[in-house]
Amino acid sequence: MTQPHIMLVDGMALLFRSYHATAPMNQFFRKQDGTPTNGVQGFARHVLTAQALMKPTHLAICWDMGSKTFRNDIYDGYKANRPAPPEEMLPQFDMAREISEMIGWKNFGLKGMEADDTIGSLVEKWKGEAQITVVSGDRDLLQLLNPTTTIALTKKGYSEYNPYTLERFHEEYAIRPEQFADVKAFMGDSSDGYPGVKGIGPKTALQLIQKHASVQGVIDAIEQLTAGQRTKIDADREMLQISLELARIKTDLIIEAAIDDLRLPLWDAAKMNHLIVQEYGLVARHATSLFK
């Protein structure tokens, strides 16, 4: 029997990507009541294009739920440098989830968790029962790779991806996927607002984990390191442990769902176009391009 092919989509990543692709040109594609829809329309087009390319049998969209997560409790500076979403984007978060439901895509998100944690827990839940493709622009998700899971990183436009399999990851990094969080703990992540160990960059961070396997392994072998590395790690040892907690994606969330809940409905382009344009009120001249 052929296994299901589940596509798990990082909804936040695609929504923000789509919004920022058009907002600088003031292309907000407003509804008749003035509500902007540019992020939502790009998001829907992106998922539909990925669906056509990757041909999943099942699909789910994963979302952050709220601006604060458990990582903010661990470290006040987590994502503190990110600006608040622009006003034109605010109504599009709920709109994107509503349109996902209309099309038949299952939405998932847990309060206090990020989309990454929901994706990680769904991968862990179904990795033995399905082939899984994760669609996102976030390289942190590489730590979820396994023999049945591919991470398709967005690359250009709506149809170009940079896919990672377990084999490719091993060739490039020479570590296990779960060790990627240990690498991030040393190098930090400026976009997420945590520094890691100051003075240790991506190359050295990877070399340390390749040789010593984990953050704890490096600490246990600290006398074997260079004097400079020892000084840097000793100065930031507390932040190193915090950074590891921030970098590691949760895979143990309890998510009540069955694979069949994610099965894609059968739509033809005309019927879907009518649903979105007529029932939801998106601007027809832009919505028609979503479903070609």
Entry pTM: 0.93
Q: Is 175-247 a domain of CATH 1.25.40.10?
A: no
Homologous superfamily of the 5-166+258-291 domain (CATH): 5'-nuclease (3.40.50.1010)
What DSSP line would sit under the chain, residue for residue? Answer: -PPPEEEEEEHHHHHHHHHHHHGGGT-----TTS---HHHHHHHHHHHHHHHHH--SEEEEE---SS--HHHHH-TTTTTTSPPPPGGGTTHHHHHHHHHHHHTPEEE--TT--HHHHHHHHHHHHTTTSEEEEEES-GGGGGG-BTTEEEEEEEETTTEEEEE-HHHHHHHH-S-GGGHHHHHHHH-BTTTTB--STT--HHHHHHHHHHHSSHHHHHHTGGGS-HHHHHHHHHTHHHHHHHHHHHSPP--------GGGGBPPP--HHHHHHIIIIIH---HHHHGGGG-
Render each residue's pLDDT in the chain as its tens digit; 292 residues: 689 999 999 999 999 999 999 998 888 888 888 899 999 999 999 999 999 999 999 999 999 988 889 999 999 999 988 888 999 999 999 999 999 998 899 999 999 999 999 999 999 999 999 999 999 999 999 999 999 999 999 998 899 999 999 999 999 999 999 999 999 999 999 999 999 999 999 999 999 999 999 999 999 999 999 999 999 999 999 999 999 999 999 999 999 999 999 999 887 666 666 666 665 555 444 444 444 4
Q: Domain spans of the chain?
A: 5-166+258-291, 175-247
